[in-house]
Amino acid sequence: MKYKSTRGQVSGLAFSDALLMGLASDNGLLVPETIPDVSTKLEHWRGLGFVELAQEIMPLFIDDIEPTVLKSLVAESYATFDHDEVVGMQQLDNLTVLELFHGPTLAFKDVALQLLGKLFEHVLGERGERLNILGATSGDTGSAAIDGVRGQQNVDIFIMYPSGRVSPLQELQMTTVADDNVHCIELDGSFDDCQNIMKTVFADADYKAKYQLGAVNSVNWARVLAQIVYYGYASLRSDGATRFCVPTGNFGNVFAAYLAQRMGFPIAHLLIATNDNDILARFFATGSYARGEVHQTLSPAMDIQVASNFERFLYYYFDQDSQRLTQFMQDFATNGEASIGAPPEEALLSSVAVDRQQTLQSMRDVHQRFGYILDPHTAVGYFAAQQWLQQAGADAASSYVVVGTAHPAKFPEAVVEATGTEPTHPTLAALSGLPKRSQPLPGDIDAVKTYLVETLAAK
C-alpha cells in the first residue's frame, strides 16, 4: 500500500514515510492510493474481538512493518484500556452508545493515539531517527497524544491549546504530565488559531525539515486508520446495515466511518452532529463551506470552525480531482468561504447542529430514564440521532449507534448543570494538587517557532 496527497504533488509513499510526514509536503492530506475492499471478509470477521479485527485491518494499509511486529504493536496499544473489548456498547432503547472512552485519558482519541505512539516508537527506533511533534488540541487530542509518547527517548511533543477554552480537567491532563519530552503551550486564541499556526509551521518546508517536525493531529493518516476499526467492529455487531451518529468538529472521526463504508463494512448512514460551531451542518444543507465565529460551548472539543479533515472527504467527493480540490481549498483560505454550488448529492452523509439547551436536555433525559450519564459531546450526538429518527418516522427501520467520545467525568460542570450529579473517575481525581507545567504564548507563529527552537536547544 502506498500513499498520496489530496493535492496531487506527493505519491508513492510507504506507510512509515506517511506516518512521519504527517501533513503532506504539498500542504495536502495523505490518503491511501487505493481503498481495499473487505466485503468478502466480513462473515469471517464478524466474530472477532476488537484487537483481533484491528490486527486484520492494519496489514491492509501497513505493509512495510513486519506482520508479527505489527500484530504485537496493535496488541500492546490496547493493553491499558479498562474494557475487555477495548470499546463498549451501551443500549439505550432505540439508540446504542459506542463507548470509546475506556483508554488512559478517557477519550476516543486514545484508540488512535495509543497506536500512533507505538508506531512512532518502532519506526523511529528502526531508523535511528528522532521526531519533534507539534500538535493543536481543542481538548482531548492533547492529553491522548501526550500519553501515547510520554517518556519516549526519540520524541519531543509540543501541544498548543487555546487559553480558557478547554475544560479544567482536560488542561490538567496535559499540564500535569512531568516527563521531560512533554511541552504544553497555552495559546492566546481559539483552537482554529492553534490549528492554523500548526499548519503554517508545517508549510515551512525548511523549518519542518531542520527541526524534524511530525504531526499527531488527525491530519496524520495513522489516526484515521486506527479509527476505521471501531466502525467496522460496531457495524459487524448490528443486524443489517448500521447508522452512526458522530459528534465531530474536525471531521476526522466521521471520515474514518466514511472510509469504513467505502471498504465494504455494512454502514447505511452517517449523521454528523455539530454544536453551535456548525460549519459542517451548513455545508451539507447548502453546499457552502464558510468560516464562522468560534462559539464557546459545553462541548469544547467541537468548538471548531475549520474542519481540518474535511479536505479528505472533498477529495473523494470531487472524484479524486486534485486540481479541483486545491482550487476549493485556496478559495476557502483566501475568502473564508468556498462552495460546490448546491447541497452535496451525498446520500450517505447528513448533518444536524445542536445547541446548548438541546445538549443539556439530552443529558438530563438520559440520566432520568436510564441512570446513564452522557458527556456533553456524546449528548450532542444523542440529540441529533433522536431528532433524525423522529423526522424519519416509520422509515427508520433501524436505530442509530451514537459515538460516545469522552467519559462524563471530564466535564463535571456540564454534567452537574444537566443532572445535579457530579461524575468522578479515579484517573481524574489523581490529578488534583499536581504541579502544572505550561508556557503561555501569544497567538503568533513566530512566538511558537521561537519557543520550539529554544526548548530543543536547551535539552
Give the per-residue pLDDT at 393: 65
Grid cell listed for 261:
463504508
- Residue 265 maps to a domain: yes
Residue 345, in any domain of the structure: yes
Which pLDDT does position 216 carry in this prediction? 86
CA nearest 87: which of 239, 250, 309, 235? 235
> Which residues are CB-neighbours of 215 under 8 A, at least 6 positions away?
22, 23, 133, 134, 135, 198, 202
CA distance 412 to 30: 37
- In this predicted structure, what is the pLDDT of residue 131? 95
- pLDDT attached to residue 397: 52
* H or E segment to which residue 92 belongs: strand 88-92
Residues 6+ apart with CB under 8 A from 224: 112, 218, 252, 255, 256, 259, 309, 312
- How confident is the prediction for the chain on average, in pLDDT? 94
Query: Comparing C-alpha atoms, which of 217, 212, 211 is closest to residue 195?
Result: 217
Helix (H, G, I), strand (E, B) or coil at 3: strand
Q: Is position 109 annotated as part of the catalytic site? A: yes
- 241: in domain: yes
Task: Report the pLDDT averaged over residues 88-97.
Answer: 94
Element (H, E) at 376: helix 376-392
Partner residues linked to 162 by β-bridges? 187
pLDDT, position 92: 94
Supply 383's cell numbers: 440529540
Name the DSSP class of 41: G
DSSP string, 124-157: HHHHT--EEEEEE-SSHHHHHHHHHHTT-TTEEE
Residue range 427-438, pLDDT digits in tens: 999 999 999 999
**What is the 3 state secondary structure string of 178-228?**
CCCCEEEEEEECCHHHHHHHHHHHHHCHHHHHHCCEECCCCCCHHHHHHHH
pTM for the model stands at: 0.94
Q: Is residue 326 part of a domain?
A: yes
In this predicted model, what pLDDT tens digit does every residue of 338-380 receive, in sequence order? Answer: 999 999 988 899 999 999 999 999 999 999 999 999 999 999 9
For residue 128 the three cell numbers come to 535511528
CB 106 within 8 A of CB 407: yes
Q: Which residues contact 204 (CB under 8 A, 6 or more apart)?
A: none
Any idea what the CATH number is for the domain that residue 98 is in?
A: 3.40.50.1100
Q: How many domains would you assign to the chain? A: 1
For residue 321, give its domain range.
88-106+221-425
pLDDT digits (tens, 9 = 90+) for 41-60: 999 999 999 999 999 999 99
SS3 state of residue 438: coil
Query: Which region among 7-21, 258-272, 393-407 has the lowest average model confidence (pLDDT)?
Result: 393-407
97 membership: H or E segment, kind and range:
strand 95-99
For residue 389, tell me if it sits in a domain. Answer: yes
Report whether pLDDT(170) > 50: yes
For residue 430, is it within any domain? no
DSSP secondary structure letter of residue 107: B
pLDDT at 394: 46
Residue 300 pLDDT:
86
270-329 tens-digit pLDDT: 999 999 999 999 999 999 999 998 899 999 889 888 898 999 999 999 999 999 999 999
pLDDT in tens, 202-250: 989 899 999 999 988 888 999 999 999 999 999 999 888 999 999 998 8
pLDDT tens for residues 376-424?
999 999 999 999 998 876 455 568 999 999 999 999 999 999 999 999 9
What is residue 182's predicted lDDT score, i.e. its pLDDT?
97
Question: In the prediction, which pLDDT does 93 show?
Answer: 86
- Residue 75 pLDDT greater than 50, yes or no: yes
- Active-site position among 4, 71, 109, 118: 109
